[in-house]
Amino acid sequence: MRYHKIEELLKNNQDWVAQKLALNPNYFNELSSGQKPPFLYIGCSDSRLPLTNFTCTEPGELFVHRNIANQVSLTDINFLAVLEYAISHLQVEHIIVCGHYDCGGIKAALESRTTGIIDNWVNPIRELYLQNQYEIDILPTRGERLNRLAEINVLAQVKNLYQTSIMRQALHNQNAPMVHGWVLDIHTGLIKDLNVATVQWQLYPGCLLEQSPLFSVAHFQPTDEVTGCCCEEAEHVIRNS
């Protein structure tokens, strides 16, 4: 590691400011005028994963929430506040859920080490492993098993995102951002887009469907014969699409 002293970080900050001002004397005036980031990034707290570096983005371009193993928790008031602010106030166009290979949170979930509170936090990943144990266990190496679980974890967190009341309301209002599931390969620095198909979860809001353009996309035409609740109709669409 290059730096261990706080003074070194402060000196770096002063140098960076000088570089920015040399390129654009108004840089910080413009930066302080407000933020309108197009992206919300939900990632792992791992110190190797500042997505700004990996995507060459500047301050003001990524709104960020990070926690161990990039969890989308429906009971995490911190995350929910970030999500609501990103969608309702910043009106981000894209949400990126980004996991990574060689993730310590994934390892903590799978290995029987006791690490304290983290055990509680990563327990949903342990559940994910149990739900997908057959697919994971047949992989030949420990690294491949951990990495596959990292991918499955991203898929699960994208799905969780669509279960939040905030996203469901955004779908109802037809202003939901596009959601992307990524995994960053620490060994290459490259991002892998998992191309997560989200339509199935966008349909899930059930009773809100009648207001959604996706309803017509699914080619479901309600008739007078249909007497059930529209939640039942939504299940019909999902089962037959």
Which tokens in the block code for residue 170? 């955004």
Please say which residue, 105 or 181, places its beta carbon nearer to Zn ion. Answer: 105
Of the residues 65, 98, 100, 148, which is catalytic? Answer: 100
185 tagged catalytic = no
Question: Does residue 233 interact with Zn ion by CB under 5 A?
Answer: no
Q: To the nearest whole angstrom, how small is the minimum distance from the Cβ of residue 44 to Zn ion?
A: 3
* 94 included as an active-site residue: no
In the set 46, 65, 168, 180, the catalytic residue is 46
Of 37, 40, 43, 44, the one binding Zn ion (CB under 5 A) is 44
Per the annotation, the verdict on 231 as an active-site residue is: no
Residue 33 tokens, joined = 């005028």
> Residue 146 interacts with Zn ion (CB under 5 A)?
no
Mark whether 46 is an active-site residue.
yes
Q: Does 103 bind Zn ion (CB under 5 A)?
A: yes
Q: Does 46 bind Zn ion (CB under 5 A)?
A: yes
Closest to Zn ion by CB, 66 or 172 = 66
* 100 given a catalytic annotation: yes
Question: What residues are annotated to the active site?
Answer: 44, 46, 48, 100, 103
